[in-house]
Amino acid sequence: MVDALNQAVETAEAQTDASLPHVGSDGVSAPPSPSPATPAPEIKPANGAPAKTSSTGIPEPDRGGPLPPLDDALFPPCALNDRYLIYPSKALPDLNSPQALAYKAEDRREPGRPIFALICKPGLPIRTGLLKELRTQGIRGMLPMLDFGPLFWSPIDQTTIAIVFDRPLGGRMLQSTADRFTRITEYEISKVIFEPLSQAISELAVISYAHRAIRLDNLFYMDKERKNLVLGECLTSPPGFDQPAIYEPLNRAFAMPSGRGDGMIYDDMYALGILSLFVLQGNNPAARFSDDEMLSAKAEKGTYQAMCENERITASLIEPVRGLLADEEFERWNIEALDQWLNGQRKTPIQRRPATKPKAPFKFGARDHMTVRSIAQAFSKSVPEAIKIIRSGKLEHWLRTSIDAPEIADSLLEIMTIPKGHEASLDAADDVLVSKVCMRLDPHGPIRYKHFSFLPDGFGVAMAVEYLRKGNFQIPGEVLARDLIGFWAGVHEKKTVEISAIERSFISLRNFARINEMGYGMERCLYELNQTLPCQSPLLNKTYVDHIDDFLSAIDDIADHTDKRSRPMDKHIAAFIDTHFKYDVTPHLKALSDPHEETSLIGLLSLYALMQWRMKIPALYGLSSWLGGLLAPAIGTYHSRTTRRHIEQEIPALVRQGSLPELFDLIDNADRRTVDNSDFEAAQIAFAHAEVEIEGIVGEGIDQKKVALEAGERTTAMLAITLSMIATTVIIFATTM
């Protein structure tokens, strides 16, 4: 089994959990979260390391090599949705994606149909929303997706997502970008590249999605004759995650792969422009540059000039290549512009306005920088050195004298000025200062903080990947605590509707993060921003629950295989429920967070009872038994021993019914509580009266001998008086007789 695990996925080194940052009144104060439900594989994005050496110079994601075959007897076919059989023993490495491994598959309804399946790596968000769209709607010009769903994958002993596709009979257009390939001529590129790919981009845009994985090694031929070219899948990793930086527009290329954001059609058009340049030249014109050098060149010269200044582009193709590679979105060609060109309508080539050339370069990090964007990127990678430069005033001086930007220089002074009495403020931290300086220098670039760089629409995925890799929310929590997104919104002179919406969203997230109760904290932020992310509770580490309708059944299924002394609840479960359950559960979560065990248990039972009742879920025998065995402290809240015994006797029968609402009614019945409290109050009053009476008889702190003597004396006196009266009466009576 261990060998099989090593074969199927790369496993991550164990990560210790780190507590969330505790940052004063504005910080994140929730306790540490449990480790991720699934061990996160070591995910290596395309530009996370230097590109592979290749004869073409075109970077490529690492799709992994062939794995040793698995034994058919030990690993039989796995069934997806009772229709598709996927064979763990029959890997198809030529069809691997960077974050998913390919295997032979068979359609039970159409046994001869050529199909294959991709098995997604656990521990990485996938594009579930787009998967659901493609299940009902095909995209022309894109690898046809047939079905998907959670699948227990025996080689890793874990449930993950499997996606079934029609098999491209002609294979990849280019198996490896390190391979030499025949360049496509100016006469072929329209029909071979522009038409099929633009069709896929256009149809995806209609359903409000971007592909975000358009690159040379993600093109396939559906037919053996290699005539029908289509785009490969873009579903098994976050948008842009596997893209080499060269394919990304500058603002997204500067971000880390997981923080590039959803993107839009303009990002796909840019990637199409880069790809078309590669196939026209038969190589990467920027192969001589490192990623940092390439990005700096793009920032200083513009993409077209940086990529093509030493290349010969056919005159008839200058127009589309320049249009697709425009750095400003409003100047970049859209589908309509490309269609017009394909139909023979020529346009005047766009001339990029060159960036203002400084009087002198800014020297930092052994390089001469000509733009503030490249300075911001360099600062984010060398914080200690950047702090020295910023505090020395050299940057401010350069901004004033070399590029005549006094407004930026003045804003940097404001950032560096710590209000009197707040010298210990978090904003004085070096990382925060550099982050804010970078945002001011490059307001359209990513938010850069401690090597955690993201565009605001990519924060959710970036946080998910950070947690799934490291098992904690430390850096994302600090980003929220320091309100870096609020600062980002403030550096934009024109606050658009989109920026205002992002700002409001992050205010809500900060409020969630501050609340140290079940259903809140960073876990709540995680699920609010990643609506299709499966619940990461360690209790569900072998299953895949990404929909609230499946949650109670999943907990019920694991009940018989879990330590019954533990609770079926943790911060991930509470946050997942609060995010996805459409009914208000605030009172239940409040009780669940109570420090008193009995109150917390009643809150747990009431929450699950509400869910079973609202969702009309049938009997939950396993969960009822699990919860029933934990309820002793809750039963102990009743004063009457008779009531407690009655409840204890009734629990087994209700457990056998699997009804949590009835179990809750037994444990916390309002009428029973009222009677119990009334009887208890009456008993207290009766007891108090009896105690007063006893004290009156027995007393406390009194000399009992003295009391007895006095009582005896009183009794003797009364007896003497009585006897005297009797004797007197007898004498009088006798005399009268």
Please tell me the predicted confidence (pLDDT) of residue 34: 53
Contact 514, 60 (CB under 8 A): no
**Other residues' Cβ atoms within 10 Å of the Cβ of residue 719:** 10
Q: Tens digit of pLDDT for each residue in 529-542?
A: 999 999 999 999 88
- The overall longest dimension of the chain from CA atoms, in Å, is 162
* Residues pairing with 160 in the sheet: 151
Q: Which residue has the higher pLDDT, 213 or 350?
A: 213
Q: How confident is the model at residue 86 (pLDDT cuts 50, 70, 90)?
A: very high
Find the mean pLDDT for residues 315-343.
92
DSSP 30: P
Architecture of the domain delimited by 78-342? Orthogonal Bundle (1.10)
Q: How confident is the model at residue 180 (pLDDT cuts 50, 70, 90)?
A: low
Please tell me the predicted confidence (pLDDT) of residue 78: 95
Please tell me the predicted confidence (pLDDT) of residue 348: 66
Please tell me the predicted confidence (pLDDT) of residue 139: 96
Instruction: Indicate whether 679 pLDDT > 80.
Output: no
End-to-end CA distance of the chain: 124
Instruction: Indicate whether 708 pLDDT > 80.
Output: no
Please tell me the predicted confidence (pLDDT) of residue 332: 94
Please tell me the predicted confidence (pLDDT) of residue 31: 42
* Helix residue spans in 632-669 (DSSP H): 632-635, 641-657, 660-667
Please tell me the predicted confidence (pLDDT) of residue 275: 95
Report the alpha-carbon angle 602-606-608, nearest 5. 120
Please tell me the predicted confidence (pLDDT) of residue 709: 78
Q: Which residue has the higher pLDDT, 651 or 419?
A: 651
Find the mean pLDDT for residues 310-321.
87
DSSP letters spanning 98-133: TTEEEEEEEESSSTT--EEEEEEPTTS---HHHHHH
SS3 76: coil
Please tell me the predicted confidence (pLDDT) of residue 62: 67
Please tell me the predicted confidence (pLDDT) of residue 175: 64
Q: Tens digit of pLDDT for each residue in 557-611?
A: 999 888 888 999 999 999 999 999 999 999 999 999 999 999 999 999 999 999 9
pTM of the model: 0.83
Please tell me the predicted confidence (pLDDT) of residue 309: 83
Q: Tens digit of pLDDT for each residue in 368-395?
A: 999 999 999 999 999 999 999 999 999 9
The fraction of the chain above a pLDDT of 90, given in percent, is 62
Residue 173 sits at φ, ψ, to 5 deg, of -60, -40
Q: How confident is the model at residue 314 (pLDDT cuts 50, 70, 90)?
A: confident
b (16+ CB within 10 A) / e for 53-76? ebebbbbbbebbeebeebeeeebe
Instruction: Indicate whether 39 pLDDT > 70.
Output: no
Report the alpha-carbon angle 215-220-221, nearest 5. 145
Please tell me the predicted confidence (pLDDT) of residue 480: 95
Task: Please report, for residues 368, 516, 714, 718, the alpha-carbon distance to residue 726 in angstroms, rounded to integers and kept in the order given.
Answer: 131, 85, 18, 12
Task: Report, in angstroms and rounded to the nearest whole number, the Rg of the chain calculated over CA atoms.
Answer: 37
b (16+ CB within 10 A) / e for 331-369? ebbbbebbbebeeeeeeeebebeebeebeeebebbeeeb
Please tell me the predicted confidence (pLDDT) of residue 694: 72
Q: How confident is the model at residue 704 (pLDDT cuts 50, 70, 90)?
A: low
Please tell me the predicted confidence (pLDDT) of residue 33: 54
Please tell me the predicted confidence (pLDDT) of residue 380: 94
Please tell me the predicted confidence (pLDDT) of residue 582: 94
Find the mean pLDDT for residues 412-431.
67
Q: Tens digit of pLDDT for each residue in 241-279?
A: 999 999 999 999 999 999 999 999 999 999 999 999 999
Q: How confident is the model at residue 705 (pLDDT cuts 50, 70, 90)?
A: confident
Average pLDDT, the chain: 85
SS3 533: coil
Please tell me the predicted confidence (pLDDT) of residue 316: 87
Q: Tens digit of pLDDT for each residue in 98-130?
A: 999 999 999 999 999 999 999 999 888 999 999
Please tell me the predicted confidence (pLDDT) of residue 721: 81
Please tell me the predicted confidence (pLDDT) of residue 510: 95
> Which segment, 107-111, 426-430, 469-473, 664-668, is predicted with the most confidence on average?
107-111
Find the mean pLDDT for residues 639-660.
87
Q: Which residue has the higher pLDDT, 45 or 114?
A: 114
Q: Which residue has the higher pLDDT, 380 or 49?
A: 380
Find the mean pLDDT for residues 9-27.
35
